Amino acid sequence: MIEIQNFIKENVKNLIPYSSARSEFNGNEGIFLDANENPYGIYNRYPDPYQKNIKKKISQLKQIPENHIFLGNGSDEVLDVLMRIFLQPKQDSLLIFPPTYGMYDVLANINQIDIHKISLNSDFQLPIEEIKNFLEVHKPKMAILCNPNNPTGNSLDNIIEFLNIFEGIVVIDEAYIDFSQKPSFLNQLSNYPNVIVSQTFSKAWGLAGVRVGMAFAHPVIIQYMNAVKYPYNISLPNQKILEKALDNPQKVQKKIHKILENRKFLISKLSHLPIIQKIYPTDANFILVKVENANFIYKSLLEIPIIVRNRHSQIPNTLRITIGKKSELKILVQKLKEISKNL
């Protein structure tokens, strides 16, 4: 079994974290003269640095103990904090599997972390044999798996095989897991102390503007993440919005259901269009399609304007289309029909 402490950066292990007024005394009642707050107003108080009320609700919903949960300012903060506790700049390296989410690369660059890239195979799956050979030579300290993967949309089939050959920290980014029929890795997390599962309120929960991401991991990892984050990383208004959303998880299920129906609608319409050469399998709230000339179609749609994501630079002649409202998708299909007539 992997000893987590051995993977923590030396300076983080030795860190004495900032102790905020609100973490030293955390009762709700009293005369608060400890944090130099203004006594007047609605948002005059610092928020709970550990978001206990929210974690209680997430814990019930996900059946994961509270001390296994971290909340960040979007998944971006979750990933950044993980790099900052595990990866020594200019020394340790990160393994990623393109085509995948662009932020992994950017965050590693900001943190001066070397990046190893092994491309997914033609089915956008992990090439296990190639990874094995690579790991005989290189020892990346961390790997990030995106499941379902963005921008391809598919789920990764061989995560366990990968975990069996990789001796390091593994982040599984499950931003789109709520749209998938396949189970979350959360069920297996207790068997893998080296794995961090990251999820978000930005997609299925419809709260991208609120900027909250979740990480689930062994309490030792969560402790270090808490020590490194900004003390008040989730604002008071945002904590209130989250609490309210978490009281109605069935609303989220309804939204997911609608989006999945819209996804089916869009796929059935697009499959009749000659302009669409291929629709890749998806477990997410978007589809990747292959076309004859992605740049041209992208630009033609922009004139409407309909904005899709041009992924030509990553996967030749592909567009990534988010599943919007049915009314929006109908307009998209109509415009694609018109564009194909003019080709």
Ligand X SMILES: *Cc1c(COP(=O)(O)O)cnc(C)c1O
In whole angstroms, how close is the CB of 202 to ligand X at the nearest point? 3
Query: Per CB under 6 A, which of residues 187..216 are in contact with ligand X?
Result: 200, 202-203, 208, 213
CA dihedral (58, 60, 61, 66) positive or negative: positive
User: Given the complex with ligand X, which of 87 and 96 has the nearer CB atom?
Assistant: 96
In whole angstroms, how close is the CB of 13 to ligand X at the nearest point? 27
List the one residue from 51, 75, 180, 285 that touches ligand X (CB under 6 A). 75
List the one residue from 48, 92, 173, 283 that touches ligand X (CB under 6 A). 173
**147 contacts ligand X (rule: CB under 6 A):** no
| Number of residues written out for the chain | 343
Strands (E) located in 66-204: 69-72, 93-96, 114-117, 142-146, 169-173, 195-200
From residue 275, alpha-carbon distances to 83, 260, 337, 338 in Å are: 42, 23, 8, 10
Contact between 195 and 2 under an 8 Å Cβ cutoff? The reply is no
**180 contacts ligand X (rule: CB under 6 A):** no
Residue nearest to ligand X (CB): 74
From residue 94, alpha-carbon distances to 84, 135, 157, 187 in Å are: 12, 12, 21, 25
**155 contacts ligand X (rule: CB under 6 A):** no
List the one residue from 49, 74, 153, 168 that touches ligand X (CB under 6 A). 74
- What gap in Å lies between CA 174 and CA 180, rounded to an integer? 10
Q: Residue 90: which residues within 8 A CB-CB, separation 6 or more?
A: 112, 114
Which part of the chain contacts ligand X (CB under 6 A), choosing from 69-77, 90-98, 273-281, 304-312?
69-77
In whole angstroms, how close is the CB of 281 to ligand X at the nearest point? 17
SS percent in the chain: helix, strand, coil, step 5: 45, 15, 45
Query: Per CB under 6 A, which of residues 267..326 are in contact with ligand X?
Result: none
Which part of the chain contacts ligand X (CB under 6 A), choosing from 73-81, 86-94, 129-137, 316-324?
73-81
From residue 255, alpha-carbon distances to 203, 215, 268 in Å are: 10, 23, 20
In whole angstroms, how close is the CB of 117 to ligand X at the nearest point? 16
List the one residue from 175, 195, 210, 289 that touches ligand X (CB under 6 A). 175
User: Given the complex with ligand X, which of 135 and 200 has the nearer CB atom?
Assistant: 200
Residues lying near ligand X in the complex (CB under 6 A): 74-76, 101, 146, 150, 173, 175, 200, 202-203, 208, 213
